[in-house]
Amino acid sequence: MGASYRIAEAATLLGVSDDTVRRWIDSGRLPAARVGSGPAHVDGADLARLATELHDAPEPGTTRGSSARNRLAGIVTRVVRDTVMAQVEIQAGPFRLVSLMSREAADELGLDVGVRAVATVKATQVSVDVP
């Protein structure tokens, strides 16, 4: 099984409240599973799908608060690999970020759909870290 997230983690990645995530689970919009009597978990791939659906690109010129030092936490929504390079898409709240990196770097970071990642933006470069 891939990455999975507790409700609070899913809410943070989507930029919504815990209660909103619970409502989506209750309504069937977001599948969740519970192991025994433990907390509910959301599959990373399901979370990535919903993140992509939720956030269209902001209007040009729109600004929103950003994290300190231009670090944007989000979830990987798409990874395209070839023999040398990888294209990684991250949904960080309302922002979709795309990073091109070596395939080796993407493989070493374990970047796949549903994995939490942090994009660090500096000038024209986007660097991706795994928390």
Q: Domain limits of the chain? A: 4-56, 70-125
pTM of structure: 0.58
What CATH class is the domain 70-125?
mainly beta
pLDDT higher at 54 or 109: 109
CA 117-89-39 angle, to 5 degrees, is 45
Residue with tokens 């930029």: 15
Say whether 56 sits in a helix, a strand or coil: coil
Whether the domain at 4-56 and the domain at 70-125 fall into the same CATH topology: no
Q: For 13-68, what is each residue's pLDDT tens digit? A: 888 889 999 999 999 999 999 878 888 899 999 998 898 888 765 555 454 544 44
pLDDT of residue 46: 93
Rg (CA), the chain: 15
CATH architecture for the domain at 4-56: Orthogonal Bundle (1.10)
Q: Are 78 and 91 in contact (CB under 8 A)?
A: no
pLDDT of residue 68: 40
Percent of residues, the chain, with pLDDT higher than 70: 85
Average pLDDT over residues 80-88: 97
pLDDT of residue 69: 61
Say whether 64 sits in a helix, a strand or coil: coil
pLDDT at residue 125 is higher than 80: no
pLDDT at residue 108 is higher than 50: yes
Look over the chain and give the mean of its residue pLDDT values, rounded to a whole number: 85
3-state DSSP of 5-39:
EEHHHHHHHHCCCHHHHHHHHHHCCCCCEECCCCC
